[in-house]
Homo-oligomer: A and B are copies of this chain.
Amino acid sequence: MKHVLLILLFISSPAYARSDALPSWNDGPTKTAIITFVQQAVDEQSEHYVPVAERIAVFDNDGTLMGEKPVFLQGNFLAFLAESAMDTNPTYAQDADFKALVERENWQRYFETTPWEKTLKIYAATHTGMTQTAFTKMVKDYLRVHEQYRRTVYQPMRELLDYLRANGFKPYIVTGSENQFVRAFSEEYFGIPPEQVIGTSWKTEVQEVDGRIEIKRLPEFSFYNDKKSKVEAIDHYIGRVPVFAAGNDGNAGDIYMLRYATQDKERPGFGLIVAHDDGKREAAYTDKDGATLAAARTYGWTVAHVADDWKTIFPAVSNRNSVPAAR
């Protein structure tokens, strides 16, 4: 098995070097830095060689692999579920917090300015109480109807995932969104299987229903995956320090994760920050205090400027077949 994999790398690497593995990226220092890191990682003669088993890559989801403006995907799903709940439940229909969410006034600012307890209450009311199987079906049904979200995937990052996989890397999503939510589309959107999705999670409970084991979702978080917690989650779920970590400027959520992946100077580690500076083609936003870009300078991470580095941002067609299958 090991030998066959080595042959595979031998075959695929030159092919990728000859053609352009990252066609949606403009030529320039960012693209060169990525390719140089990967070429050295797979080159046994390089001092920056990384054994296959250690080629762990971690990606933030919202704002890194897909657009998060005006509102990230799970925020949209939350509002959709809240509207459904209000249609059938008068208590929710009259609840000021539900109303504030579904009115979508200052939609983009809602999640930035609303106290977390208010939003969490609506999450708990709409996202828990059912089985995991039922919840996954809810998400998949929603995404089937709302095909437009397939178009919010960043094409350059999809190519980067493919490029890393072709060179033996194992990419994980490490997200503040919920693990079970993201797992419902990670394979189709990004070719990332459910076991490589780490996110915020609810407590669960095993129940027996007609002699069958079901997993019920409880209205309490078991893990909230953001900032420092992402480091704990990587350690907890993967048990290895990644050699590649990608996040985005915007809410300082990925600084710890990138620091963790790049702090050991005696081993290779690549940090990539997506900087959203293209208000014409996407959305222009940045950390209020400039923390992420400052960290990128301090720790030597590569910054992908959407305006300059990305030739195209979104896929030309929302073609599900263009997304590679897992593995």
Contacts and interface: CB of A to CB of B under 8 A. Distances in A.
A206 interface: yes
A201 to B, nearest CB: 6
Say what secondary structure dominates the interface of chain A: helix
Bin the interface of chain A by size: 35 or more
B235 A183 contact: no
B239 A1 contact: no
A154 B293 CA distance: 52
Interface stretch (A2-10, A76-84, A96-104): A2-10
A44 to B, nearest CB: 15
Interface string A238-276: 111000000000000000100110010000000000000
A307 B8 CA distance: 42
B204 A236 contact: yes
A303 to B, nearest CB: 21
Interface stretch (A21-29, A59-67, A121-129, A319-327): A319-327
Contacts of A263: 212-213
A259 B213 contact: yes
A180 B239 contact: yes
Contacts of A166: 1
A228 B207 CA distance: 9
A181 to B, nearest CB: 11
Given A53-B326, A236-B204, A213 B4 contact: no
A259 B326 CA distance: 27
Interface centre among A195, A228, A256, A260 (most CB of B within 10 A): A195
A194 B222 CA distance: 22
A53 B325 contact: yes
A231 B256 contact: no
B4 A11 contact: yes
A142 interface: no
A195 B240 contact: yes
A259 B208 CA distance: 11
A282 interface: no
A207 to B, nearest CB: 10
Interface of A: 1-2, 4-5, 8, 11-12, 52-53, 56, 132, 165-166, 170, 179-180, 183, 187, 193-195, 197, 201, 204-206, 212-213, 215, 222, 228-229, 231-232, 235-240, 256, 259-260, 263, 324-327
Counting from the closest, the 9 A-B pairs by CB-CB distance are A194-B239, A206-B228, A195-B238, A183-B239, A53-B326, A213-B260, A204-B232, A215-B235, A206-B231
